[in-house]
Amino acid sequence: MKTKILFLILTFAWFISLSACTSPVENDVSDNSRIITVSVLPEKYFVERIGGEHVQVNVMVGPGESPHSYEPKAKQMAALSNSALYFAIGVEFEDAWMERITSANPGLRVVDLSQDISKLPSSDADHNEDMDPHIWTSPEMGKTIARKIGFVLIELDPQHADDYQANLAVLLRDIEQLQAEITNSISQMDTHQFMVFHPGWGYFANEFGLEQIPIEIGGSEPSASELAHLIDTAKNDNIRVIFAQPELSTQSADFIASEIGGRVILISPLAEDWLENLRLVSQTFADAL
């Protein structure tokens, strides 16, 4: 009798341990996590840091592509039907495509992360309504974006509110640390001006008291006379480094750099590791300026 009971207990324990082993697989995050679509790679960073294991992120504008001229692929348009949410950020391709995206997916909730942010005028006037769309290059704006994402994820999935809150708190702490580091590295710079092909750093410049001199005029390469003027400016202001972006042309930047005996350094506002990229860019500024 005793052995029979022992056998039953052991069998029962074996079943329990078996189900304990299989339950994490049944609850695998990839099955239950929500698919969230974003426009640009830095948004992916924010949503993943806050959403953690509860989200899967789809990006429209992939590495090497520009959100100013981007056109979604048919496959990406079709994949939107699996998305629970779309975080827009106010880049040009959204204006051209969002109507098509929402009419094809009437259930898709679209949240514009740039909505509560007061935008700066675009320094080269090529962007819609002359406003600069690159809000995410400022860590302070990054905090606003992070809080909004946290708020919306909690609304969408209140069951995991504690996780979202905790992840958001850690991210906000990291951003504050980054701001202190950038303030420190920028205080060591000799000049506060920098020349860049595509003016993607307006919000960064604004936050840290820098002046961005764009090479691009109205979203295109400068004319010969505009180039000559830029070369004069660079010489007068003792500019030695011209910044350009890997996603875009470096032709004008190369030309100006050769005329002033300087060099071109590539920086991108679109890198996926948003935090590390801003740290790297500020160190690059500090070393080069």
| Pattern 104-123, Zn ion, x by CB under 5 A | --------------------
Q: Is 51 one of the binding residues for Zn ion (CB under 5 A)? A: no
Between 164 and 203, whose beta carbon lies closer to Zn ion? 203
Among residues 164 and 243, whose Cβ is nearest to Zn ion?
243
Is 61 or 260 the residue whose CB approaches Zn ion more closely? Answer: 61
Task: Verify binding: residue 90, Zn ion, rule CB under 5 A.
Answer: no
- Residue of closest CB approach to Zn ion: 200
Given the complex with Zn ion, which of 200 and 214 has the nearer CB atom?
Answer: 200
Q: Does residue 207 contact residue 118 with C-beta atoms inside 8 Å? A: no
β-pairing, 241-244 vs 193-196, is parallel
How far lies 198's CA from each of 100, 174, 215, 249, 282, in Å? 28, 28, 7, 9, 17
According to the binding rule CB under 5 A, does residue 202 interact with Zn ion?
no
Examine residue 200 and tell whether it contacts Zn ion (CB under 5 A).
yes
> How far apart are CB 267 and Zn ion at their closest, in Å?
12
Cα dihedral 117, 43, 90, 161, rounded to 10, equals -60
CB of 146 to Zn ion, least distance (A): 21
Place of tokens 């909690």: 154
Binding mask 152-191 for Zn ion (x = CB under 5 A): ----------------------------------------
Residue with tokens 């205080």: 187
Pick the piece of the chain touching Zn ion (CB under 5 A) from 104-112, 114-122, 184-192, 197-205: 197-205
5-13, 57-65, 199-207, 235-243 -> range binding Zn ion (CB under 5 A): 199-207
Looking at beta carbons only, is 139 or 269 nearer to Zn ion? Answer: 269
Binding footprint of Zn ion on the chain (CB under 5 A)? 200
